[in-house]
Structure 1
Amino acid sequence: MVEGTARSFARSIALQSRLHDLVPGGAHTYARGSDQYPEDMAPVLVRGCGARVWDADGNEYVEYGMGLRAVTLGHGYEPVVDAVTAAAANGTNFSRPTELEVLAAEDFLSLVPGADMVKFAKNGSDVTTAAIKLARAVTRRDKVALCNHPFFSVDDWFIGATEMNAGIPGDVTAKNLRFEFNDLDSLQRLFDANRDQIACVIMEAATATAEPTPGFLEGVRELCDKHGALLVFDEMITGFRWSAHGAQGVYGIRPDLSCWGKAMGNGFPISALAGKREFMELGGLNTDSDRVFLLSTTHGPETTGLAAFRAVVETYATQNPVARMESAGTRLAEGVNAISSELELTDFFEVIGRPSCAVFVTRDSNRNPSQAYRTLFLQELLQRGVLGQSFVVSAAHSDSEIGHTIDATREALEIYSEAIAAGTTDGFLEGRPVAPAIRRTAHPRRLAATDKARTDKARNSP
């Protein structure tokens, strides 16, 4: 069993207060914000190794989520670190392309079916936005059909369609059209209502919680071809987690453009836009059409990101990280769901999704999705040395770490069961529940007076 004795978060609390004073939201990614964790239990990390991390208070955790799904080989994976170190020693950024850009592009295009050209960048948002721009230039249309996935980009074309759309002109938002995953009719209706106006369809071919139903992706491809729209796959999560060839390699559907990032560099910053030559060359020098300012980033070709990517490619060629993730995730999901069944919590808690990218679902005593019960579960896992907003694994998650997590989950679910029986988390949950990362107002996790006092104290500390 896992001992659930109270841990100290004093140093993390002080650092988080200072972060709120210095950084809007207290984190550089909204999904990493303290409002995504139980109050006063948001660890500020100092290092990681494999599947484990340590916080500023010296607490050790088995980590899940792995850098928002960006790490598949484990933290500090030696071959990647060695490749990055060697590249950095020879300089990182120059005024002309490097040989490494040729080698990395060849590696990438050897993996991605149907792609003829690639352009590297640093952020996923950069390349999804470039894909939208390119599709609009190719088709001379403005509207975009977006699948109802939670996130594609920080840029106006996407964020304007969310609740957190302050500062974004309404005419930008008006060009976004929504359809449902695994609902081909919903996409057909968009094409029918917006004839010759849709530039592209952008979507994930699969999600952490849903596989494409038979014929769905084929139907999307056919609709795009019929109506002259480009098909764009977002492979941020599926790339190098579903396979080294992405979801398009698993399901056999070829998009016109695809966008990659996250696990490409095992945590090092690199992203990519890939596509058919006839489209990508509009951003190049071999076209008679008006040129598209596709991507032009100072740090896109810097050597450490490209070296990390090449080391990841080599690892996937010589080992089988996807199989290891699938195995670890399957054992974890089966073990946790067995405990949930044993405690008669199946209607209230379960692990779902692809084993390499699993999430847990928390429901209240009325069987409704619940942030309060989610927070209670996170709270109890943290006290038992497990950190994670999900159960997303890496190839570094060993039997020992999966076993530790299953034991910790049993104890956490025993408390969860008591709260379900009581019909409330009151008396079990310390502090306010977590809140959606993308929401219109800071409420219900606006910084309280006590948070401001901590921030003021941190500001005045030496």
Structure 2
Amino acid sequence: MEHRTAEEPTPRHRGFTRSNELQARLHDLVPGGAHTYARGADQYPESMAPILVRGSGCQVWDADGNCYIEYGMGLRSVTLGHGYRPVLDAVAAAIADGVSFSRPTELELLAAQDFLELVPGADMVKFAKNGSDATTAAVRLARAATGRTVIAVCDQPFFSVDDWFIGTTPMANGIPAAAVAGTARFRYNDLPSLAAVLETEAVAAVVMEAATALAEPDPGFLEGVRELCDRYRTLLVFDEMITGFRWSAGGAQAVYGVRPDLSCWGKAMGNGFPISALAGRRDLMELGGLRTDRERVFLLSTTHGPESSSLAAFRAVVREYATGDPVARMEHAGRLLADGVNAVAAELGIAEYLEVLGRPSCLIFATRDADGKPSQAYRTLFLQELLERGVLGQSFVTSAAHTEADVAQTISACREAATSYRKAIEQGSVDGLLHGRPVAPALRKHAAPRRIDTEPADA
């Protein structure tokens, strides 16, 4: 990237003509113009939502030939980099012998063994394709095992597209009130709030992320959750969709040393290949099997859950985590990036308005307006200026493919973007700087973007 000083922002020069044409056509054929709300055009500056055609490592190219350093990496599903050769080679070898069969394959056994070696707190595992499949199966299993219906859900961004959870969000249209009547809420790092729910409701399961990008457990919190669940005979379910293979190969439960009864996995398991998993105690998981005297649970039954390409990808990912320590590499890149961007913001006098936060392997950026309040408009301005300088991402979530050179290029882009950001702070608005409407939360009641400042969900 050509070097410019902070006083000489890079001029607007990237074209999005072909991407905009393709996006318009997508809106004609696909509701929302994307198959995931978090990937929607409304999550990016107006007329600046690249339609991608290929990727390699941490770089991607759009339909107009623009190249970007990508962050977020497939909604956190890619930790080794796009087109990672050992994964592709394993997949190619597996699918050459067929993809889907009428009976289980040896590959299913080998993948299950690999998984359970990573997660010693689990006795059994069942593979699926979507994270929501796994979390909803956990809820169903908990209700069957306990004979209760209430689910206590932590106040965290996202757990499932199914009624029991999505009915609690602003996008509850079409979901009967009865479907969410049994979903209660408690606050993270607040044991009394959980205790209050467990004391007043017969709760089947507590569903939560052990940690998030912005929230680490206070000392004793997770242990306290475990103790409360045991006291009230409630199952503890950890959502490891993001923390699995990003906090560690064994997930957050391995980092914090607290064993859940059930855990749900996905995203980085296959380095972008579609695979998820439900894992847990044998006595619970067997309720969905053939070796139980109790009434059976319809746990997970998917045509494509055991197809060979994703299981082969998963096994290749496991091998890389066993030999290459990708978590350390993505954390190294994240620390360099956070330190560099925060230093730029401090140098420009806007550190209280623009800030990189979170675990080094799962960074986000906070964007605040001139009054110090979270702002979608200022977020959009920052995204806009980064896109013009070859950086794509709704976050600064890194992968093991991000090199020190990639980080240095990103910090350089952030320096120029932060100069425009400082102008907006000085004038008290983004007027004349933002080219189009602000981005909007992915989960909102109405299609027309409205100013609602929340953390985006991977929905």
Match of 1:362 in 2: 367
Deviations 1:312-338 (A, max 9, x none): 000011111000011000000000000
In 2, distance between residues paired with 1:53 and 1:150? 27
What amino acid maps onto 1:18 in structure 2?
R
In 1, distance between residues paired with 2:314 and 2:101? 19
Match of 2:20 in 1: 13
What amino acid maps onto 2:61 in structure 1?
W
| 1:274 match: secondary structure | strand
Q: What does 1:273-422 align with in structure 2 at a 5 Å threshold?
A: 273-422=278-427
* Structure 1 residues 4 and 322: CA distance shift in structure 2, 3 A: farther
In 1, distance between residues paired with 2:155 and 2:308? 35
In 1, distance between residues paired with 2:200 and 2:108? 43
Shift of 1:74: 0.2
> Contact (CA 8 Å) 1:4, 1:380: kept in 2 or not?
no
> How large is the Cα RMSD of the aligned pairs?
0.9
In 2, distance between residues paired with 1:338 and 1:224? 43
Shift of 1:114: 1.0
Q: What does 1:116-127 align with in structure 2 at a 5 Å threshold?
A: 116-127=123-134
In 2, distance between residues paired with 1:70 and 1:372? 27
Between the two proteins, the alignment pairs up a number of residues equal to 444
Shift of 1:191: 1.1
Match of 2:455 in 1: none
What amino acid maps onto 1:104 in structure 2?
A
In 2, distance between residues paired with 1:240 and 1:362? 28
**Corresponding position: 1:437 with 2:442:** yes
Match of 1:140 in 2: 147
| 1:13 match: secondary structure | helix
In 2, distance between residues paired with 1:229 and 1:76? 42
Match of 1:216 in 2: 221
What amino acid maps onto 1:274 in structure 2?
A
What amino acid maps onto 1:304 in structure 2?
S
Shift of 1:5: 3.7
* Structure 1 residues 445 and 55: CA distance shift in structure 2, 3 A: farther
> Contact (CA 8 Å) 1:121, 1:295: kept in 2 or not?
yes
Deviations 1:176-214 (A, max 9, x none): 1011111111101111221xx110000000001111010
**Partner residue of 2:102 out of 82, 95, 102:** 95
Q: What does 1:155-174 align with in structure 2 at a 5 Å threshold?
A: 155-174=162-181
Match of 1:189 in 2: 196
In 2, distance between residues paired with 1:341 and 1:189? 42
What amino acid maps onto 1:55 in structure 2?
D
**Partner residue of 2:117 out of 100, 110, 117:** 110
In 2, distance between residues paired with 1:226 and 1:346? 45
Match of 1:451 in 2: none
**TM-score, normalised on structure 2?**
0.96
| 1:254 match: secondary structure | coil
In 2, distance between residues paired with 1:51 and 1:163? 33
In 2, distance between residues paired with 1:301 and 1:159? 27
Match of 2:256 in 1: 251
**TM-score, normalised on structure 1?**
0.95
Shift of 1:445: 6.9
Q: 173-182 or 250-259, which moves further after superposition?
A: 173-182
**Partner residue of 1:229 out of 227, 234, 245:** 234
> Contact (CA 8 Å) 1:113, 1:248: kept in 2 or not?
no
In 1, distance between residues paired with 2:446 and 2:363? 29
| 2:188 match: secondary structure | coil
| 2:125 match: secondary structure | strand
Shift of 1:89: 0.9
Runs of 4+ in 1 over 3 A off after TM superposition: 2-5
**Corresponding position: 1:71 with 2:78:** yes
**Corresponding position: 1:241 with 2:246:** yes
Shift of 1:172: 1.1
Deviations 1:4-48 (A, max 9, x none): 442000000000000011001100000000000000000000000
- Where in structure 1 are there 5+ consecutive unaligned residues? 447-462
Deviations 1:87-128 (A, max 9, x none): 111100000000000000000000002100000000000000
Match of 2:205 in 1: 200
In 2, distance between residues paired with 1:185 and 1:92? 49
| 1:119 match: secondary structure | strand
What amino acid maps onto 1:331 in structure 2?
L
Shift of 1:173: 1.4
In 1, distance between residues paired with 2:220 and 2:385? 42
Shift of 1:400: 1.0
State, as a whole percentage, how many aligned pairs show the same letter.
70
In 2, distance between residues paired with 1:97 and 1:188? 43
Shift of 1:344: 1.0
What amino acid maps onto 1:243 in structure 2?
S
Shift of 1:230: 0.2
| 2:361 match: secondary structure | helix
Match of 1:449 in 2: none
